[in-house]
Chains A and B, each alone.
Chain A
Amino acid sequence: MAIKDLPDTECVLPGSAACPGCPATMGLRIVFKALGKNTIMVVPACCTAVIESLHPHTSFDIPVMNIAFEAAAAGASGVEAALRQQGKEDTTVVAWAGDGGTYDIGIQALSGALERQTNFIYICYNNQIYSNTGIQRSGATPYGAWTTTTVGGKTEFRKEMGEIIQAHHIPYSAQTCVSYPEDLYNKLKKAKGIKGPKYIEIMAPCPPGWRFPMEKTVEMGTMAVETGAWALYEVENDKMTFNGKSKLILEKKIERKPIEEWIKYQGRFRHLFKPEKDVKRLKAIEEHTDQMWDRYRRCYL
C-alpha cells in the first residue's frame, strides 16, 4: 500500500500540543488510519498525555483513558474485559505507551497482560528517553547517548525489548518505525485482525530529545534502520520475518551503514565527536550492533 492510498481517517485533530516534528503524532495518525474509529486508547504518563491537550479539550477523535505511568497494560486489560462483557468485542483496545512506560516502570503490567492473553494491541513508541520529564535515560536509551541523567553519555547498552516480548510467545509482535508509514500501517492492520495480545514497537526519533532539527525526524528514522541500529521485523506465532532494508541487512544483501552516520547528526552524541573523536566508544557501539545482527542471523535466518 502506498502512502497516497492510506485511508483518509484522521483521529489526531489539528492543534495538538506536540512539538513540531513529533514522531508520536506521526505514528498515531497512521495507527488510527489502520485501526479506524472503533478503537479505545489507553495512555499512561508520557509525551502523549501532553499531546492530548488541556482538559476540557482533546486532540484525539476516539475515546481515551489516561492511566498512571506503569499501568497502561493493566488498565487496558480492564477495558478489554468490560467491552467483552458488553458484547463489544469488535472494538480494538490499544495501549499506547512510551519506552519508559514499557521497558522500565510498566514492564511488569505489560508482561502480565501478555501472559494472560489479553486481547489488545500494545504499542510502544520508542523515543529512547523519558521525554515528558525532560530527557532522562530509559532502558531503551542507547549506549553513549547524553541525557540529563547520563551527562557524560550512557554507560550501558539498551535492552532488547523485542526479545523479551518474544519470550511471551504471543500471536503477533513487530518492530517498525515512523519513517516507514506503509510498514507501520500494514503491521497494525495485521495486528487488528489477530485475536490475543499483540505488541508493536515504533522507533520514534524525537527532535528535542535527540537534539536534531525538527524537519529531520523521518531521516533520523530511516538512518536508524539503514545503520542497523533498529530492525524492522515481525513475529507471527514465533516465526520471525525481517522487513525492508532490515531483511537485506540480515541476509547480508546490503551492508548496514556505520552507526556513526546516524549519530553524528544528533546532538545527544556530540561528545563522541568533539572536541575529538571518541574512537573507543564509537567502536564499542559498532561492535555491539554487529553482535546484535549476528544473534539475529543465528536465531532467525
Chain B
Amino acid sequence: MTLMIDTGNYIAAKAAIMAKPDVVAAYPITPQTTLVEGIANYVKTGEFKGEYICVESEHSAMCACIGASAAGVRTFTGTSSHGLLLMHEMLHWAALARLPVVMCNINRVVGPGWNIWPDENDSISQRDTGWIQFYCSSNQEIFDTIIQAFKLAENEKVLLPVMISYNAFILSHTSMPVEIPDQKEIDDFLRKRKSKWKLDINNPITFGNIILPADYEKIRKDMQNSSENAKKLIPEIAKEWKKKFGRYHGDLIERYKCENAEYILLAMGAIGAESKVSIDNLRKEGLKVGLARVRTFRPFPKEDILKLGKQADLIVIDRNISVGSEGALFSEVKASLYDKSDTKVYGFIAGLGGKDVTYNDIEIICKKAIKGKVKDCEWYGLEGV
C-alpha cells in the first residue's frame, strides 16, 4: 500500500493501468485530457504494457474498445461531455453486444456555449444506453470504483459496460491523498478477464447480425436481468473490497447520518460529498437530516430509496435537467415511491453550468424543504428568472 497525492484524473489513470487492460483507446477532451496523458506516461515508463490506441475521435475510441472487447480482452477508455455524446450510438452498441468495457466520464457541461465546468447532463442523457453508471465523490472512490467496475462488468451474470462519472475540476483536477494497494493485491482481487465467447477462428460465430423481434426482446430482457444481478453484486464486491483494503464508499447508495433522520437528502457526485458538511451543520442545529448519496444511477437503487422514503421525507438535488420535465434523480426517486409510500419529495436543480454549490447552499436548500415551502421542482438561486 502506498499513498499517492494526485488529481482525480491521474488517480483514474493509475487505477486503469493497475487493472491491466489489454487495450485502451481514447481521445482527448477537457477536462478528461490529463487522464489520457496520464496513461500515455505509463506507456512511456513501461508500467502500462497494453495497447494504447490514439484514435481520431471518441466515436472511434468506443468502436476500438468494442472490437477489442469482442476479441476477448479487457478494455478501458475515458471521455467527457461532447466526447461522450459523440459516442452515443456506440454506447448502445457496447451494451447490447454485452461487452464489459469500462470508461471514466468526467461530468462536464454540454455546449453551446462552450463551458468546461461540472454538470451531469452529459452522462444523465446516456442513461438509457444500458451502461451501469457510477457517480463518485472523492479521488479514493474513483480509484476503488474503477477496479471494482472491471470485476462487476466482466462477471458472467452482468456483462454490461460500466461508466464511472466524476465532476469536472472539483475531482478531475483536485489533488487528494489516495491509498493505492500493491499491484499483487489488485491482481488477487481482479483476475484476468475470461470471456465466455469471443471472436475466435476455432469457433466462427457471427456477432450482431439481423435479429427478429422475438429474439431481440429476449436480449433486452436479459440486459434488464443482468442489471438486477448487478444490483446484488455491487454491494458484494464493495464488501469484498472493504474486507481486503478496509475502504468502503457505500453500495448503491452511501448513507450518512440517516439513523433517526426525518429528512433525507439525495444527491450524486461532488454535491453528494459537499452535503456531508451540510448534514453535520444541520444536525448541530438540531435538524434531523441525513444524506443518501446515490452512487449508481443505473441500476437505479429503487428498493433502497423506497426504504428511505418510508423513514423520512426526501430532498433531491439534481445537477442536471431533463428539459420539459425535471431533474432526472427527482423523477426516478418519485417513481421508486409511487403507490408504495406517500412521503413528500422536494426537488431542486442546482449547479448547472458548473455553478458552485457550497455546503451553505445545500443547508439553505434543506431548510427550505423542511419548511415545506417548495415548488414542484425548484431552481435553487434562480428564483424569478
Q: Residues on A close to B: CB < 8 A?
A: 37-40, 42, 49-50, 52-56, 58, 60-68, 70-71, 73-86, 91, 108-109, 111-112, 115-116
Contact = CB atoms under 8 A, between A and B. Distances in A.
B63 A75 contact: yes
A103 B201 CA distance: 30
Given A67-B93, A108-B57, A55 B201 contact: no
A93 to B, nearest CB: 9
A52 B210 CA distance: 8
A181 to B, nearest CB: 23
* Nearest 10 Cβ contacts at the A-B interface: A78-B67, A112-B56, A66-B208, A82-B71, A74-B60, A74-B63, A78-B64, A58-B206, A78-B68, A81-B51
A42 B345 CA distance: 49
B215 A81 contact: no
A65 B64 CA distance: 12
A66 B199 CA distance: 11
Interface string B50-66: 11011111011101111
Contacts of B75: 78, 82
Contacts, number: 159
Given A40-B199, A75-B66, A85 B23 contact: yes
Interface string B1-27: 000000000000000000000110100
A116 B53 contact: yes
Interface of B: 22-23, 25, 50-51, 53-57, 59-61, 63-73, 75, 89-90, 93, 199-201, 203-212, 215
A82 B71 CA distance: 6
A61 B199 CA distance: 12
Contacts of A73: 60
Contacts of A40: 71, 199, 201
A79 B90 contact: no
B67 A91 contact: no
21 contacts: A37-B201, A40-B199, A50-B210, A53-B209, A56-B215, A63-B204, A65-B208, A66-B206, A66-B208, A67-B67, A68-B63, A71-B60, A71-B90, A74-B60, A78-B23, A78-B65, A85-B22, A86-B22, A86-B73, A111-B56, A116-B55
What is the predominant secondary structure among interface residues of chain A facing chain B? Answer: mixed
A68 B73 contact: no
B201 A39 contact: yes
Contacts of A58: 204-206, 209
Given A74-B59, A78-B67, A84 B212 contact: no
A37 B23 CA distance: 25
Contacts of B215: 55-56
A55 B210 contact: yes
Given A49-B209, A67-B93, A82 B63 contact: no
A42 B67 contact: yes
A74 B201 contact: no
Contacts of B59: 70-71, 74, 109
B307 to A, nearest CB: 41
Contacts of B199: 40, 63, 65, 79
A78 B63 contact: yes
B64 A67 contact: no
A86 B205 contact: no
Nearest to A38: B201
Given A55-B215, A63-B200, A68-B63, A81 B53 contact: yes
A61 B204 contact: yes
A89 to B, nearest CB: 12
Nearest to A67: B63
Contacts of A80: 67
A74 B64 contact: yes
A95 B201 CA distance: 16
Contacts of B67: 42, 65, 67, 74-82
B219 to A, nearest CB: 10
A72 to B, nearest CB: 9
Nearest to B50: A85
